[in-house]
Chains A and B, each alone.
Chain A
Amino acid sequence: MFTEATAKRLLCLVTTPDRAEAILGDLTEISSSRGPVWFWSQWSRALAAHAFKAVTSAPLRFILLAVGGISIHTFISMTMLELAAITDYVAYLDPSDLQASLSLLPSVFWLSLVFFAFVGNLMTGFLLGRFASTRGLNGITPFLTVQIANWVLYPVVGTFVFSLPWAVVGAGVLLLPFVSIFPLLVGGVTANRKIT
Chain B
Amino acid sequence: MAERQNLGEFEQVVLLAILRLRDRAYGASIRTEIAKCTQREPTPGALYTTLDRLEDKGLVKTNMGHPTPERGGRRKRFYKVSPAGVDAVARAQTAFRRLLDGVELPGVACVY
List A residues at the B interface (Cβ < 8 Å).
4, 15, 18-19, 21-30, 32, 42-43, 45-46, 48-50, 53, 56-57
Residue from the list B44, B68, B76 in contact with A45, Cβ < 8 A: B44
> Are A28 and B71 in contact, CB atoms less than 8 angstroms apart?
yes
Q: How far is the CA of A21 from the CA of B43 in the complex (A)?
A: 17
Contacts A22-B77, A23-B44 given; indicate if A28 touches B49 (C-beta within 8 A). Answer: no
Q: Which residues of A contact B27 (CB under 8 A)?
A: 22-23, 25-26
Residue from the list A18, A26, A50, A57 in contact with B28, Cβ < 8 A: A26
Q: Which residues of A contact B76 (CB under 8 A)?
A: 22, 25-26
Q: How far is the CA of A120 from the CA of B49 in the complex (A)?
A: 32
Q: Which residues of A contact B53 (CB under 8 A)?
A: 57
Contacts A21-B74, A50-B49 given; indicate if A45 touches B64 (C-beta within 8 A). Answer: no
Q: Identify the closest chain A residue to B75 (Cβ).
A: A21
CB-contacts of B25-43 with A (<8 A): 26-28, 31, 43
Report if B45 contacts A (CB, 8 A). yes
- Output the residue of B43, B44, B53, B64 with the most chain A CB within 10 A: B44
Contacts A49-B46, A53-B49 given; indicate if A22 touches B70 (C-beta within 8 A). Answer: no
Residue from the list B46, B52, B71 in contact with A25, Cβ < 8 A: B71
Q: Identify the closest chain B residue to A15 (Cβ).
A: B52
Contacts A18-B64, A22-B27 given; indicate if A46 touches B72 (C-beta within 8 A). Answer: no
